[in-house]
A = this chain, B = another copy of it.
Amino acid sequence: MSTQEELPYDVYQDRCPTRLVLDRLADKWALLILDRLKDGPVRFNSLKRDIMRITPKVLSETLRKLERDGLIARAVFATVPVTVEYSLSPLGDTLTDTVSALAHWAERNMDAVLAAQAAYDAAITAAAIPTPGLHRLR
């Protein structure tokens, strides 16, 4: 808010189109796809295999949304059977460092998060049982 130039868009504003883009990026599958594409073009079924548990439906939908937003490009080759490659567009390429950092932050800090969760849950449980061991009969 301080070091940043004045822009016509403000993601904090409701009804700002940036909210729509943020919604797109704030999607687990979209982040994984963009991250997966950062090393070069990847084919549909390769994406489907690499991003475990994604269904073809969701993969297809997410790819089309990303393509519509100009973040990825779709290339069709008239082979038999047909070959389709997805790759980052120049615009999408400006995002990958950030997206990749976010997607992999969890991997680097997973232990800390798990520890925090355990501590939080323990505190909550302790609070829920004011004097543990008391009132045990009945």
Of all chain B residues, the one with the shortest Cβ separation from A36 is B12
Question: Top 9 closest A-B pairs, CB basis?
Answer: A70-B116, A21-B106, A14-B52, A14-B53, A18-B106, A26-B28, A9-B107, A68-B120, A98-B101
A102 x B107 contact (CB < 8 A): no
CB < 8 Å neighbour of A114 from B1, B10, B17: B17
Q: Known interface pairs A39-B2, A105-B95. Does A21 touch B113 (Cβ–Cβ under 8 Å)?
A: yes
A residues near B (Cβ < 8 Å) are 1-2, 4, 7-14, 17-19, 21-23, 25-28, 30-32, 36, 39, 50-53, 67-71, 91, 94-95, 98-99, 101-110, 112-117, 119-121
Q: How far is it, in angstroms, between the C-alpha of A12 and the C-alpha of B36 when the chains are bound?
A: 9
Of all chain B residues, the one with the shortest Cβ separation from A104 is B11
Q: Known interface pairs A9-B107, A51-B12, A107-B18. Does A68 touch B25 (Cβ–Cβ under 8 Å)?
A: no
Give the chain B neighbours of A21 by CB distance below 8 A: 105-106, 109-110, 113
Give the chain B neighbours of A36 by CB distance below 8 A: 12
Interface centre among A11, A91, A101 (most CB of B within 10 A): A11
Q: How far is it, in angstroms, between the C-alpha of A17 and the C-alpha of B94 when the chains are bound?
A: 28
Give the chain B neighbours of A1 by CB distance below 8 A: 39
Give the chain B neighbours of A52 by CB distance below 8 A: 12-14
